[in-house]
Structure formats: structure tokens, C-alpha cells
Amino acid sequence: MRLSILHRTAYRFSEPQARLVQLLRVTPPDTHDQTVANWRIDVDCDAKLRDGRDGWGNRVTMLYAEGPIHGLEIEISGEVLTTHSDGVLHGLTETLPPPVFLRATDLTMPDAGIAAFVAERAGETPLGTLHRLNAALHEQFVFDRSRPAGLTAAAAFARGEATPRDVAHIFLVGARGLGVPARYVSGYSRLAGEHRPTPHGWAEAYIDGLGWVGFDPCTGLCPQDDHVRVAIALDAVGAAPIAGSRLGDGQERLDVEVRVAEA
């Protein structure tokens, strides 16, 4: 499938800012399952852009802008060719061994409620259990599109309502509780438009003898050719598409728009 992606992020400030530094994890990697046909990052002010990699191996672009800055708009656009792989990833460039992704974070601490939920859906193999968990999370939760991010996996599980990010975190807690390395994935999905107009998030788990396998609790299925994988980390904070800092007083307003369509 050929997917066309447009991702706009606009900042507006109540007071001029003296300096902005932004870290952009928005450029997809080339793998056997996806090929970037074209990709560009545009900003509406004078800025320096520097490409690199973060500690997880993700492609990053650092953005530096000097003030006075009243607003900033970042537009990411491009096309990616994807293939159907039954959720199994091929041709990845890995910088860290899978056991690193057994580590918990503040957002993904072990939880007795999640562990019990997973135990009730135990299969004959870890892979079978994770497939059951993925489907069960899809059926269990009402997706709250309007609530801002910030809950831990345990707090989101107790609510019964969650964002795609929250449910991916719950999946990570469940998988790691089984001793299976699991990580958060940020990216884009043609199917996620109905959930929220922002970049999408799902999970990957490492299965011995098979490798990394994707799981998207928002659909209850493995990611297929309608997903574009961009960045990975232990949780959503580490894989955030855009993060940064500003030097200046006042308040900021943030607007995000994402469009994903078959080209």
C-alpha cells in the first residue's frame, strides 16, 4: 500500500520566545516492510535542522530557532510504501538487545490488576497469550479521544477509558509481566483516524524464534500495511514525535493535525 501522510504541529505563544529547541522523531525508517518514497520537514520560520539518532536508534531531527518567535508551525509530509507481514517485522536495524525492553518505567510499572487480566487470557504459548490480550484490550476499553495523555498504565486500566497510548502501555505491562520484552511504537495509521487526529501508538513484543511482532490494541489486530512505524522506546515519552523546550515567558497553545490516506 502507498500511504500519504500529512502531520502539522502549530505553536502559538502569548509572549515572544527568545529561543526554541525541538526534537523531532517523525521520520520513518526503511525496513523490509516499509520504504519511504519521499519525506520532508518544513518550518515557517528561520531555523537550523540537524539530523541524527537517539539512544534507541530512532532517526531524529533537532530544530533550533532564535527569537523573537511568536509562533512556530512544523509540517511533516511524505509517502511510504508498506507491505503486509502478519505483524512480524523484518529488516530492522537494532541497536539494543531485546532484554532491555523488559524494563519498567514510571508509566509502565507492574500492576496486580493488569497481571490478573492477562492470567485470565493465558494461552499455550506467550505469542498466543499476547494475541488474546491484544483482542481483549480492544474489546474492554472505550477509547477516550479528548482526554490528554498523562495517566500511568495502572491508572488507565482502572478507569476503563483510555487513549491509544494508554492501552499500548497496558499491553506493555502485561507482556513484560510474562517475561516477554515489549516496547512502545509511535507512528501513523490509516485506521487510527477514527480514534484521534494525532500520531498513533501501539506495541511490539519480542518472541523467541520469530523476532519482533506488532500488536495494536486499538484494532485488536497486528499492524499491517495500513501502519507506518516511526520510533520506539520503553514508553510513549521516549518515542514522542515532538518534544522540546522554549526560552521565554507566557503561555503556549498547541494544535495538531494528522491525515493518513491511501495514495
Report the C-alpha gap between 202 and 167 in whole angstroms. 8
132 and 255 both lie in a single domain? no
67 and 144 both lie in a single domain? no
Under DSSP, is residue 118 helix (H, G, I), strand (E, B) or coil?
Answer: helix
Residue 253, domain CATH:
2.60.40.2250
Element (H, E) at 13: strand 2-24
Mean pLDDT of residues grouped by 10 in the chain (263 residues)? Answer: 95 94 96 96 94 96 94 96 92 93 97 96 93 95 69 91 92 98 95 64 96 95 94 96 92 91 89
Q: Rounded to two decimals, what is the model's pTM?
A: 0.93
142 and 251 both lie in a single domain? no
C-alpha cell of residue 174: 502485561
Report the C-alpha gap between 126 and 118 in whole angstroms. 11
C-alpha cell of residue 175: 507482556
Dihedral of the alpha carbons of 208, 209, 211, 215, in degrees to the nearest 10: -70
pLDDT of residue 26: 96
DSSP state letter for 98: G
132 and 73 both lie in a single domain? no
pLDDT of residue 197: 59
pLDDT of residue 195: 43
178 and 129 both lie in a single domain? yes
75 and 168 both lie in a single domain? no
214 and 128 both lie in a single domain? yes
Range list of β-strands (E), 152-250 = 161-162, 182-189, 200-207, 211-215, 227-233, 242-247
The distance in angstroms from the start CA to the end CA of the chain is 8
Under DSSP, is residue 65 helix (H, G, I), strand (E, B) or coil?
Answer: strand
**Is residue 177 within 8 Å of residue 151, measured between CB atoms?**
no
pLDDT of residue 142: 80
101 and 75 both lie in a single domain? no
108 and 211 both lie in a single domain? yes
Q: Specify the number of domains making up the chain.
A: 2
The domain containing residue 221 runs over which residues? 84-233
229 and 249 both lie in a single domain? no
Residue 153, domain CATH:
3.10.620.30
Under DSSP, is residue 83 helix (H, G, I), strand (E, B) or coil?
Answer: coil
C-beta atoms surrounding 245 within 10 Å: 9
